[in-house]
Amino acid sequence: MQRPDGAEEPAIFESRLHPHRSLDAGGFRLLMAGTFVATALLSLPFYLMGAWPIVGFLGLDVLGLYIAFRVNFRDARAYEHLRLTYFELRFARVNAAGLRREWRLTPAWVRFERVDDEEYGPQRLSIHSRGRQWEVARCLGPDQKAEFATRFTAALAEARRGPRFEPTDPRD
């Protein structure tokens, strides 16, 4: 929501959630180089013995690993973005291809639900509003979900209380 002066309302809570990937681009190149060298060294004796088709099958393993990681990196481009102000909760979900879906909700009508497992902690976080629901923070682990839920619950309570206005001195 924009103010009359055209500026964006200040956010009480804002979070952009990305899927966690433990391997960066440099690590990926190192892994692929190591896999290629190991496969080449492994396939050399087979090639020298005349069993050259084995070299091709070992190469298919390297190709399969490469494709799996490329798909994994492509899927890592997906994210969720939540922005909460006193007047609006804006929830956007962007898939790996860049397709964006956005929902704008009134904080007074939003209910946040947390489903916990005794052993594993938070399993599911969802936003409910006017008969619809959206699962949020799907890409986070249990510890990160717990932290997110605590912060978001506090921010949602703050948004429901409404903005606090400073009393102004009539002499100013």
CATH number, position 95: 2.30.29
Asked if 37 and 107 sit in the same domain, the reply is no
Which pLDDT score, from 0 to 100, does residue 152 have? 96
Which pLDDT score, from 0 to 100, does residue 165 have? 77
Asked if 100 and 62 sit in the same domain, the reply is no
- pLDDT for residue 1 is more than 80: no
Domain boundary among 38, 59, 75: 75
Which pLDDT score, from 0 to 100, does residue 42 have? 93
Domain-located, residue 168: no
Q: Are 156 and 110 in contact (CB under 8 A)?
A: yes
Which pLDDT score, from 0 to 100, does residue 31 have? 94
Asked if 54 and 31 sit in the same domain, the reply is yes
Q: Which domain holds residue 45?
A: 25-75
**DSSP track, 5-62:** TSPBPPPSEEEEE----S--HHHHHHHHHHHHHHHHHHHHHHHHTT-HHHHHHHHHHH
Average pLDDT over residues 158-165: 86
- Portion of the chain with pLDDT greater than 90, in percent: 67
Which pLDDT score, from 0 to 100, does residue 4 have? 58
**118 confidence band (pLDDT: 50, 70, 90):** confident
Q: Are 90 and 11 in contact (CB under 8 A)?
A: no
Asked if 157 and 118 sit in the same domain, the reply is yes
Domain boundary among 59, 75, 91: 75
Average pLDDT over residues 26-52: 93
Total count of domains within the chain? 2
Average pLDDT over residues 64-82: 92
Asked if 91 and 155 sit in the same domain, the reply is yes
Q: How far is CA 64 from the centre of its chain?
A: 26
Query: In which order are the strands placed within the sheet that holds 89-94?
Result: 13-17, 79-84, 89-94, 100-105
- Over residues 86-106, the pLDDT tens digits come to 999 999 999 999 899 999 999
**DSSP track, 101-170:** EEEEE-GGGEEEEEEEETTTEEEEEEEEETTEEEEE-TTS-HHHHHHHHHHHHHHHHHHHH----PPPPT
Which pLDDT score, from 0 to 100, does residue 20 have? 80
- pLDDT for residue 133 is more than 90: yes
Residue 7: count other Cβ atoms within 10 Å of its Cβ: 8
Q: Of 114, 82, 76, give the one whose Cα is nearest residue 95.
A: 76
SS3 state of residue 75: helix
